[in-house]
Amino acid sequence: KAGVTQTPRYLIKTRGQQVTLSCSPISGHRSVSWYQQTPGQGLQFLFEYFSETQRNKGNFPGRFSGRQFSNSRSEMNVSTLELGDSALYLCASSPNEQGGKEAFFGQGTRLTVV
């Protein structure tokens, strides 16, 4: 069974641009979550989607948005990039609605904003 796939693995963008990151969950998983990891702030929850609906949202500005498609694949978008958005973005998928099960993480997308 393929794991969680995140594309691209590395990305360099210029301040003010926008970026879209993609996450393909494990087959059959309907929950997809996104996290931002930086040396200063650690791992912070961005949002979670289940069956195309956002179920949870972290404390991030509206420049950060996401969506989930009917096949459970998810994208997150960051508009008007700032230097502080440079981070490792991790996606995680989980098997069902009830939770309590582990989340399976992808290898992340390393975003550098210059």
The residues, ordered by sequence, that sit 6+ positions from 75 with a Cβ below 8 Å of its Cβ are 20, 21, 22, 23, 66, 67, 69
Contact string (CB under 8 A) for another protein, positions 9-48, x = contact:
----------------------x-x-x------xxxx--x
7, 8, 56: which is closest to 31 by C-alpha? 56
Residues 57 to 96 in contact with another protein, rule: CB under 8 A: 58, 88, 90, 92, 94
- Applying CB under 8 A, the site for another protein has a residue count of 25
Residue 37 CA, distance from chain mean position: 11
* Interaction site with another protein (CB under 8 A): 31, 33, 35, 42-45, 48, 55-56, 58, 88, 90, 92, 94, 98-100, 102-108
